[in-house]
Structure 1
Amino acid sequence: MERIGVLTSGGDAPGMNAAIRAVVRTCVYYDMIPYGIYQGYEGLIKNDIEKMDAGSVKHIIHQGGTILKSARSDAFKTEAGMEQAWENIQENNLDGLVVIGGDGTFTGAMRFGQKYDFPIVGIPGTIDNDIYGTDFTIGFDTAVNTVVEAVDKIRDTATSHNRLFFIEVMGRDAGFIAVYSGIAAGSEEILIPEEDRGIEKLFDSLARTSKRNKSSRLVIVAEGDKNGSVYDLEDRVKEEFGDRYETKVTILGHVQRGGRPSCTDRVLASRLGVLSVEGLREGKRDVMVGIRDRSVRYTDFEKATKQNPKMDDELLRIADIISI
């Protein structure tokens, strides 16, 4: 194992640069040669590959996004695309790959690694925290802090005008951002894809807080919630309560992906970057490296992509108790 390629794929996440930095510098530490692959699997197909050194990753640990850029590649899903990628790997004499991304990234890595018997280790980088095999993914902590900061500001307006705000956060299939930010920001209700407790629960919560004359009300909604969009929810609340509430909708959108990574994400990314290279050196392949219960865990790509992390029921119970 002398030459290792590293790429980022799928949606960007704060902390990816810290992971790239750790991979490159770990290679240098072990007298290996790191190669950066630009635009994810698309760059692997187009041979957009560049030799790197310790200086290539200076001053990036604090930057959001990814210096290697990221892209989704339909071509990599085809036999011709994978064949071209394999030819470029051989041309550059790469001995292994580190791929940083989420479910789609690991699915592609699993298919490619098995087809060509090529060692690949994955690092979970996604703000949604929806990868099985690790307690937290790179980017999640930063995204949650971004949401909490935004919600705190929205509450100032909600309090000043006695308004009910519906705030949509990212999470098409997983509600981790909604739950963590909802608890931290003191929302009245949290709606997530994993639990469809019905619109009636929201109505009951709003009716309860109305009797207490609360000066502001915030409802955090994951984008994949089964009750519909935030605009649908706003309409249904108006139908149920009439003019009792002045409602507003805020969709935070891609602001959640950006910004400087938090200390937690920088440390996690650095740790996983080092462990990914050491895993390849030890003969690991077709696995994702993660941290569970403060210990290193290597999880097969198949399990990481096929199983979903379970929402913590205790967090949901706590959210219900402290939202009264």
Structure 2
Amino acid sequence: MKRIGVLTSGGDAPGMNAAIRAVVRKAIFHDIEVVGIKYGYEGLMEGNMELLTIGSVGDIIHRGGTMLFSARSEEFKTDEGQQKAIEQMKKHQIEGLVVIGGDGSFRGAQKLTEKGFPCIGVPGTIDNDIAGTDFTIGFDTALNTVIEAIDRVRDTATSHERTYILEVMGRDAGDLALWAGLAGGAETIIIPEKEEDFDDIIERLKRGRDRGKKHSIIVLAEGVGSGFDFAERITETSGLETRVTVLGYIQRGGSPTAQDRVLASRLGARAVELLIEGHGGRMVGIENNQLVDYDIHEVLEKQHEIDLGMYDLSKELSI
């Protein structure tokens, strides 16, 4: 293998740049050229790409976002779009592709592999919703952003003696809400994977107020619903004054943590190794701090599982 490509697709995540850096430098170490493809699969179909060197990826390990930019493409989901992408790769003499992104990006990688073009997926999403890996690139950084927000909100919640709801991202997965809620000492954590008894939530809030508690923090995963709708329901039921903070896209930005930089470096380098070994249609991940790889089709068929033991612990600690 003489030349490979690398792209980032879907939502950006802190640590993607570290993964790009690892792919480029690992490949060059093995005398393989790397072509950076801009704007994901859209750029792949258009041939929007450039040769990357060691210097191209200097001073990016600490930067959030992605130097290759990202975009979503409906055209690429079609056979015609995928064929256009393959023709561009043949034109630029690209023999393998590293795709950094989430499950939607992996579906594209799977399709290209099925058409005879080897791709390796690297999980990059703050949602941590990919099966086959304990953690995805960007999750730890986003988690720390949410925790910082909880700490700040707690200060004003205490000053005004109010109930605050923080709506966090995660799509249909509750990992971000669960980990942040437990680390931030939230009184209630609401996630898609566990149906919460609304009457129990109200009872917990009232019980805290009766014993002199000045404030309450509720962390709500966006996959459950709107924080504003939930706040209105609480106020109507209990009379408690409630405020909402929707963290939004600030959770996707910022300099990646050491955890995400190391994870991205390990996964990016392993993706190159798999291509060198002649593999395609695989996803690299980490389990029990050990690198693993799985068939992308197998990964997409499985459902990401949340640690409900942590959820039970959070309730026990927030009595």
TM-score, L = length of structure 2: 0.98
- Cα-to-partner distance string for 1:39-62 (whole Å, 9 max, x where unaligned): 000011000011111111000000
CA shift, 1:240, in A, is: 1.3
Name the SS for the 2:35 alignment partner: strand
Structure 1: gaps (5+ residues): none
Matched ranges for 1:201-280 at <5 A? 201-225=200-224, 228-242=225-239, 245-280=240-275
Percent identity between matched residues is 52
- Cα-to-partner distance string for 1:142-196 (whole Å, 9 max, x where unaligned): 0000000111101100001101001100022100000000011110000001111
Q: Is the 8 A contact 2:161 2:215 kept in 1?
A: yes
**Structure-1 separation of matches of 2:298 and 2:202:** 39
**Structure-2 separation of matches of 1:238 and 1:40:** 44
- Matching residue of 1:294: 289
**Structure-2 separation of matches of 1:286 and 1:186:** 41
- Cα-to-partner distance string for 1:240-299 (whole Å, 9 max, x where unaligned): 112xx2210100000000000000000000000110000111122101000101211111
Amino acid at match of 1:19: A
- Matching residue of 1:179: 178
Structure 2: gaps (5+ residues): none
**Structure-1 separation of matches of 2:302 and 2:203:** 34
Amino acid at match of 2:211: R
Amino acid at match of 1:141: D
- Cα-to-partner distance string for 1:109-129 (whole Å, 9 max, x where unaligned): 1012102x1111010000000
**Structure-2 separation of matches of 1:275 and 1:102:** 17
**What count of residue pairs does the alignment treat as equivalent?**
319
- Matching residue of 1:127: 126
Amino acid at match of 1:300: D
**Structure-2 separation of matches of 1:88 and 1:238:** 57
The alignment yields a C-alpha RMSD, in angstroms, of: 0.9
**Structure-1 separation of matches of 2:45 and 2:81:** 6
Q: Is the 8 A contact 1:106 1:301 kept in 2?
A: yes
TM-score, L = length of structure 1: 0.97
CA shift, 1:199, in A, is: 1.4
Amino acid at match of 2:148: E
Matched, 1:314 2:309: yes
- Cα-to-partner distance string for 1:187-223 (whole Å, 9 max, x where unaligned): 0000001111231221122122122221121000000
CA shift, 1:25, in A, is: 0.3
CA shift, 1:77, in A, is: 0.7
